[in-house]
Amino acid sequence: MKKIGIITIFDENNYGNRLQNYAVQEVLKSLNLNPETIKNVRTVNNKNCLEDAKKIFHGRRERFLEFNEENMNLSKDVIYHDDVPENFHEQYDYFVIGSDQIWNYKFTDRFSDFSFARFAPKEKRISFSASFGISDIPNNTYEKYEALNEMKAISVRENAGKDIVKDITGRDDCIVLLDPTMMLSAEKWSSVMKKPIQLKSKKYILKYFLGNVSSEKNKEIERFAKENGCDIIDILDRDSFYASGPAEFLYLIKNSFMVLTDSFHSCVFSIIFDRPFLIFDRDEDGMRDMNSRIETLLKKFQLKNKKFDNKICDKHLETDYENVSSILKKEQEKVINFLKNALDLNKDNLQVEG
């Protein structure tokens, strides 16, 4: 059985990061592979920052560590980007890089040659729905991405990412694939979710914003919630639901009346769980580029009407996902075909488990 080292941002504080990591693992397992996520930080200082985070966000941290312990196959040791052990690559047959914003150069505490597995031979380096997290790369940073030329096979998560690869390398073999979380069924995701112990509401709107929300938008959210007899749960409220981990995050989306968000993975799981959702643009400087992954998602699944436009209406409660199933099936097949070819797998009798 081939052993696969998964290289991704090892963030024990971000829902999308942990859930996409789990999805990559499960997809690879379904192909009769033995995947292991490589715990990694760029420097010793990063490691110290992780230790500090344990003290600051104790309850939340516990839920993330609990999710890892119960669901993830992780490397025994932490690898520092600038101190990869000699011959480390010999422990794995291939390295699968992605998903998440593994190639975002603005993440200076995470982005390095390790993000491209440059310690390994070229024929071992595969990217699976890797993301740049931004729409374009300045010319003066191109040298940071020279390793794109060295990938055996390359796939990205957004259309903008494919354009970036083409601009930097001239490669025509880069393809856009699903975010790995969409490779698993609602039933599979339900098997790892947990009800938050602090959840008392019978009917609630889930609010999850990584960017700022104006007072006007908050007033509109409050109006719609009141008219529909809903509580509002803000998953980032430090006094209530902030201590939720990835498993609780899934539960809150699946059982919500509606999801209001600017988060890519909140949109993804709303689709998976057949929940109404509405997307708010991030308007802050430096964050507009992060809308690209959501634009790709909406275009691919023909869900353009999910964008907030000053008012929340009853029509937004419709889960108009009629075309999603057929599109999703084709996109999932693309993922499997890509991985089979990239990892030199026997193409017989392989299928993704739900």
**Do strands 155-156 and 3-7 pair parallel, antiparallel, or not at all (unpaired)?**
unpaired
- Indicate the pLDDT class of residue 52, thresholds 50, 70 and 90: low
pLDDT in tens, 196-225: 999 999 999 999 999 999 999 999 999 999
Q: Please name the helix (run of DSSP H) or strand (run of DSSP E) that holds residue 277, with its range, or none.
A: strand 277-279
- Indicate the pLDDT class of residue 49, thresholds 50, 70 and 90: low
User: Rounded CA gap, 209 and 266, in Å?
Assistant: 10
- Indicate the pLDDT class of residue 285, thresholds 50, 70 and 90: low
**In a shared domain, residues 32 and 12:** yes
| CA 125 to centroid of chain Cα atoms | 20
User: Rounded CA gap, 15 and 12, in Å?
Assistant: 8
CATH code (residue 122): 3.40.50
- What pLDDT does 304 receive? 81
The single-letter code of the amino acid at 243 is: A
Q: For residue 49, tell me if it sits in a domain.
A: yes
**In a shared domain, residues 21 and 159:** yes
**In a shared domain, residues 177 and 283:** no
User: Rounded CA gap, 69 and 50, in Å?
Assistant: 17
Q: For residue 286, tell me if it sits in a domain.
A: yes
Reduce the DSSP state of residue 179 to 3 states and report it: coil
Residue 238 to residues 16, 55, 167, 201, 206: CA-CA distances in angstroms? 19, 14, 42, 18, 15
- What pLDDT does 68 receive? 96
Q: For residue 33, tell me if it sits in a domain.
A: yes
**In a shared domain, residues 198 and 79:** no
Give Dmax (Cα) for the chain: 62
Q: Is the dihedral of CA 49, 53, 55, 61 positive or negative?
A: negative
pLDDT in tens, 239-264: 899 999 999 999 999 999 999 999 99
| CA 130 to centroid of chain Cα atoms | 10
**In a shared domain, residues 194 and 178:** no
Buried residues in 235-244 as b, exposed as e (16+ CB within 10 A): beeeeebebb
Q: For residue 125, tell me if it sits in a domain.
A: yes
Q: For residue 227, tell me if it sits in a domain.
A: yes
Percent of the chain at pLDDT exceeding 90? 78
User: Residue 31 is encoded by which pair of tokens?
Assistant: 């192909």
CB 351 within 8 A of CB 30: yes
**In a shared domain, residues 39 and 86:** yes
Per the structure, how many domains does the chain have?
Answer: 2
Within 13 Å of residue 144, how many CA atoms lie on the same side as its CB?
17
**In a shared domain, residues 163 and 260:** no
**In a shared domain, residues 233 and 114:** no
- What pLDDT does 296 receive? 85
What domain range includes position 289?
A: 188-317
